[in-house]
Amino acid sequence: MSCENPTTDTDALMPRRKKYDKSRTCVKCKENVGNIVVRHAVYCRACFVPLMTFRFRRSLEPFVNAKPDGPRRTALKPLGHLTIGFSGGLGSSVLLNLIHRCYVSPDPALLNQDGGKDHPSKDPVWRKVFVCYVETCDAIPGTKDRTEEIRNLVQGLNGVEFIPLRIQDAFDISWWRKISPKNLPFIPTDASVQSPSSALQAYLGSLPTSTALATTVGMLTRVLLQYTAFQTGSSHLVLGTSLTSLAVSLISSISQGGGFHVKEEAQEEWFPYPVAFAQGQVKSVRIIRPLRDVSTKECAVWAWWARLDVIGREQWEWPGTKPGLGRLTKDFIRGLEKDYPSTVSAIVRTCAKLAPKGETSGRCMLCERPAQAGVQEWKARIAIRSWKEPAHSNTPPSVASADALAPYLCYVCHTTLTSRGTRALPSLFASISTGHTPAVPTWTSSRVTQLHSAAAAQDSFLDVETDEPVVVSRRKMGQEELRQALNGFILED
């Protein structure tokens, strides 16, 4: 048997699989010629629009009420307002358009108008809708400030309010005092006296790898959105994460040790510190990704047909650094998606079946997500250490010590701060001096201050001169006995 020559014998070439399975006719209406292929299924424009709207509402509306709905549909009555996390990218632009056309200014082309104009379903679901944008140009050298572009875009929509933030607000004490309750303690340290921009750049400059840089910027952006949503009285925070982006974030998070946070990557119920709320205040923020069943291709088609103005978002790349795990994962999954369209849906469905192993020991002070119990002990057992390193005590460090932050971090944040790459990162910010310890985000400083105060109060309460047990009893005293007990403290007339 001789080898065939593909240039002369065309029959020797393997036939390429069709982009669609059966025909070019729409699989839903069976009449129109298809306009888009979604995972080998053909849809026309008339059928794709309600399909897109259905997937969006199916991922959002069951979680609007305080108690998630079951199979039976009830009226949508959220406890607070709505905050949209907007980045200027494709997913967030499509999300803003769908929120506005479905809930702010209902579009008859998208919604069923049965029931008349006075039907309860026509009432606004959220009393106020906020669009929050976090500018990251100060964290990534050479990028453009897009705040004004996004402000002009949002102001063109009626019924929404624009809230601009900057990534350095995470280190701004004045921002934290505006966000947090008045009775929340905060003691500024020497590092926190720096300007917010300097503190941010010093913090990023201390990170060891390019993966840690991208992970930290994403974490700071997310936590800023969460606290802003809480401060505005929003019960829901929606993000424009598409099915493709969710698959990328899941694989990237797991590759960095974030398997314990698989559930939070899809949906999360977030409670801020401290748990002290005013009467009538929203007590938690539910973070939802309504586009988690919609691929990037479907978002692009929707943006094209709806004539959306997609501003775009800057790539999180730093000069002189190698691509991080997030960027490599994104390129790999998008490459697979071209030939295997069901890749991203298979990843998301598989990760939805996963459950974290082990118990939760509080919440991480940096990323505000659950921290797995026993992380420090496990890392101590698997870490490769030098023989000259002195033996460490198994006793956990005191809360009041300066290096007491490690026991209160999750595995991802601990690895982000301590991992080492194959080569050192270049100096990202030349104007930043490395003489003093970098600051930490304000929510971390506030939480550490709370722990220090609690530890000091506990130490003063337990500071007794005898080792004998102390027995405390309470009984009702008579007036004469009470007068004799206070006789030495009463001033004479």
- The per-residue pLDDT for range 385-403, each reduced to its tens digit, is 544 444 444 444 433 333 4
Q: Tell me what the pLDDT averaged over the chain comes to.
A: 79
Q: Is the pLDDT of residue 166 over 80?
A: yes
How far, rounded to the nearest angstrom, does the alpha carbon of residue 176 sit from its chain's CA centroid? 18
Q: Is the pLDDT of residue 347 over 90?
A: yes
* Confidence at residue 437, expressed as pLDDT on a 0 to 100 scale: 65
Q: Is the pLDDT of residue 287 over 60?
A: yes
* Confidence at residue 129, expressed as pLDDT on a 0 to 100 scale: 96
* Confidence at residue 321, expressed as pLDDT on a 0 to 100 scale: 73
pLDDT > 70 in the chain, percent: 70
Between 460 and 45, the more confident residue is 45
Q: Is the pLDDT of residue 410 over 60?
A: yes
Mean pLDDT, residues 184-213: 75
Q: Is the pLDDT of residue 493 over 80?
A: no
Lowest mean pLDDT among 73-82, 191-200, 270-279, 332-341: 270-279
Computed from CA positions of residues 385, 387, 389, 390, in that sequence, does the dihedral angle turn out positive or negative?
positive
Mean pLDDT, residues 323-336: 88
Q: Is the pLDDT of residue 349 over 90?
A: yes
Catalogue the E-assigned strands of 140-208: 161-166
Classified as helix, coil or strand, 371 is: strand
Q: Is the pLDDT of residue 342 over 60?
A: yes
Query: What does the alpha-carbon distance between residue 324 and residue 484 come to, in Å, rounded to a whole number?
Result: 75
Query: What does the alpha-carbon distance between residue 246 and residue 264 come to, in Å, rounded to a whole number?
Result: 11
Q: List the alpha helices (DSSP H) in 61-171.
A: 90-99, 147-155
Classified as helix, coil or strand, 238 is: strand
* Confidence at residue 110, expressed as pLDDT on a 0 to 100 scale: 78
- The per-residue pLDDT for range 1-53, each reduced to its tens digit, is 455 555 555 555 555 556 555 678 898 888 888 888 888 889 999 999 999 99
Lowest mean pLDDT among 265-279, 300-314, 431-445, 458-472: 458-472
Q: Where are the domains of the chain?
A: 49-359
Looking at beta carbons, which pairs linking 416-420 to residues 24 or more positions away fall under 8 Å?
416/207, 416/211, 416/212, 416/215, 416/216, 416/256, 417/207, 417/208, 417/212, 418/208, 419/208, 419/209, 419/211, 419/212, 420/208, 420/209
* Confidence at residue 486, expressed as pLDDT on a 0 to 100 scale: 62
Mean pLDDT, residues 358-383: 79
Mean pLDDT, residues 363-368: 90
- What are the Cα distances from residue 49, in Å, to 42, 149, 296, 301, 336? 13, 28, 15, 10, 26
Between 398 and 280, the more confident residue is 280
How far, rounded to the nearest angstrom, does the alpha carbon of residue 425 sit from its chain's CA centroid? 26
* Confidence at residue 220, expressed as pLDDT on a 0 to 100 scale: 95
Answer for the pair 296, 90: CB distance below 8 angstroms, yes or no.
yes
Q: Is the pLDDT of residue 225 over 80?
A: yes
Query: What does the alpha-carbon distance between residue 64 and residue 82 come to, in Å, rounded to a whole number?
Result: 10
Exposed / middle / buried, residue 141 (Cβ in 10 Å: 0-12, 13-18, 19+): middle
Q: Is the pLDDT of residue 78 over 60?
A: yes
> Which residues lie below 8 Å from residue 439, measured CB to CB, with a gap of 6+?
171, 189, 191, 192, 194, 199, 202, 203, 445
Between 84 and 122, the more confident residue is 84
| CATH superfamily entry for domain 49-359 | HUPs (3.40.50.620)
Query: What does the alpha-carbon distance between residue 441 and residue 213 come to, in Å, rounded to a whole number?
Result: 15
Query: What does the alpha-carbon distance between residue 351 and residue 267 come to, in Å, rounded to a whole number?
Result: 12
Q: Is the pLDDT of residue 377 over 90?
A: no
Mean pLDDT, residues 177-183: 68
Between 474 and 128, the more confident residue is 128
Amino acid in the structure at residue 367 = C
Query: What does the alpha-carbon distance between residue 311 and residue 150 come to, in Å, rounded to a whole number?
Result: 8
Query: What does the alpha-carbon distance between residue 248 and residue 326 come to, in Å, rounded to a whole number?
Result: 7
Between 142 and 8, the more confident residue is 142
Query: What does the alpha-carbon distance between residue 301 and residue 278 come to, in Å, rounded to a whole number?
Result: 45
